[in-house]
Amino acid sequence: MSSDILQMCEMLEVQTKNYIFKSFADCRGCVERALKDGAVFSVGGAWTDPWAKRLGLPHVIVENSVETILNALESATQLRRVQVEEAEKQCLFKTQSEMYQAVLDFTHDAILAIDENGRIQVLNPPAERIMGCRAADSVGQPVEAVLPNTLLPDVLESGEKQLDQIMQIHQTLCNTNRIPILVDGQRRGVVATFQDVKQLQNSEQKIRLKLHEKGLVAKYAFNDILGDSPAIRSTIQIARSYAASRASVLILGETGTGKELFAQSIHNASDRRDGPFVAINCAAVSNSLLESELFGYEAGSFTGASRGGREGVFELAHGGTLFLDEIGEIPRETQVELLRVLQEKEIRRVGGSRVIPVDVRIIAATNKDLLQETVEGRFREDLYYRLDVLDLKLPPLRERGDDVKILGLHLFRQLPGGKDPIMQSQFLYLLEQVGPYQWYGNIRELQNFVERANILMRNAGASSVTVSDILRRRAEPAPEPCQETESRDRRAIEAALHNHPGSMADAARSLGCSRQTLWRKMKKYGIQR
């Protein structure tokens, strides 16, 4: 019934009652109820009129005006709009609710939440497993009744969060965080997360295995460094003290003295032991590729660059240690970029504009006298002092006395037949026959010596005298290359580069060597491409 008619009746103090029907059949019932209720006059539409006349109730038909119809349509439109908005809100609320529930159910962390009265409101499946209870039985209960040794009421009272706390829940040792819920500055509850310490350790182990698969793990520690001479024991002691620092380390030593072994040991004894250990030999990478190996590159930055770009060793070593072997071989132009990275602790990939922060500890190694290299202008002085914060001088094998026997016997035992006591005795005898040899190749040369001795000793036709003679000749130091030989090599390399200006591969092929060997000799003689 029109609201205008109802308001008019109210103003005229006419008692009215509204009857609503949805079909023509229902209309008769409404008229009958009106008569039963004492109605003496009726106002309605076309459906009401025939029934009112048939049942003896005076009736007048009220026709809807255009304005009334428009008002009704507008009201219906507004009502529908409200219904749609409410449905959208309900859908959004349901989506968010399902999303939060999925996070609670499938996260690895156990989650427990209480309200301002200390009663449990949320308990996800991981929390059920750790606490040994069901959410259906626990929600609404006081938290102390479910978790007797909890500190959640203390956090609710103080409003201070508690992070990385260790607590025992039944048979599970957990790492827990307790965070108060604040609404307009008022404490409305507390959320606690629990992590099983054993699961954390297993996850850490899996991560380390993944790093190991990528070759980004240091395999050796100080216990793996063999020797009992005062020289090596003093060096190990100094290196252990360096491990407690985060400063850069410069390892100095002849070739084959174990520079990477010490670098890995320092890493494994430091607080970065759980991070990656990345090593790069600067002498084994051509000058044109060294910068992209160090800092990475973006897609299309040069011919042959992969479509998605690639990380450099600085990014790979983020959070860990970067070992730069043969640091003295880095060209001057790359030294400038390296210095900037060490100072700013951020890198920019080749061909890229994005600055990437890196947290890396640098351990560098060289068999050159870098200070002399700076005097002669081949190495930047500012970079040298940036790298040489802590220096570690490794003793050559000739200064380590009986360590030659200890190392030789250890290497011999790793080879076929090396665990035979008789063969070990024969090997030690042969090693003593070598005499006061200088071991210019240090441990690497000793390893070659041991392998050759093992092969000859297992040869049934070789007598001990013959083997001793062969090993003695092997042990004689190789003559130093004379200046005439170096000059001849230099001229040959320069001629090959002149004849093949567009291809390093062709130049190397004409010299009968690999590109890597050609690069190494060019660096040795200071020849520019």
Report how far residue 46's alpha carbon sits from residue 338's, in angstroms, rounded to the nearest whole number.
94
Global pTM reads 0.54
Q: Which two tokens stand for residue 182?
A: 């604040």
For 365, residues 6+ apart whose C-beta sits below 8 A from its C-beta are 250, 251, 252, 253, 259, 260, 263, 323, 324, 325, 326, 327
Alpha carbon separation from 339 to 321, 333, 334, 380 (Å, rounded): 17, 10, 9, 9
Contact 240, 233 (CB under 8 A): no
Per-chain mean pLDDT for the chain: 84
List pLDDT tens digits, range 271-296: 998 888 999 998 888 777 888 888 88
List pLDDT tens digits, range 203-234: 765 665 565 555 677 889 999 999 999 999 99
Contact 226, 403 (CB under 8 A): yes
pLDDT of 503 strictly over 90: no
pLDDT of 468 strictly over 70: no
List pLDDT tens digits, range 57-101: 999 988 777 887 888 899 999 999 999 999 999 988 888 878 877
Contact 316, 216 (CB under 8 A): yes
Report how far residue 27's alpha carbon sits from residue 346's, in angstroms, rounded to the nearest whole number.
83
**Which one, of 338, 333, 339, 358, lies nearest residue 280 by Cα?**
338
Contact 187, 181 (CB under 8 A): yes
Strand partners, 59: 42
Q: Which DSSP symbol is given to 297?
A: B
Mean pLDDT for the stretch of residues 387-404:
91
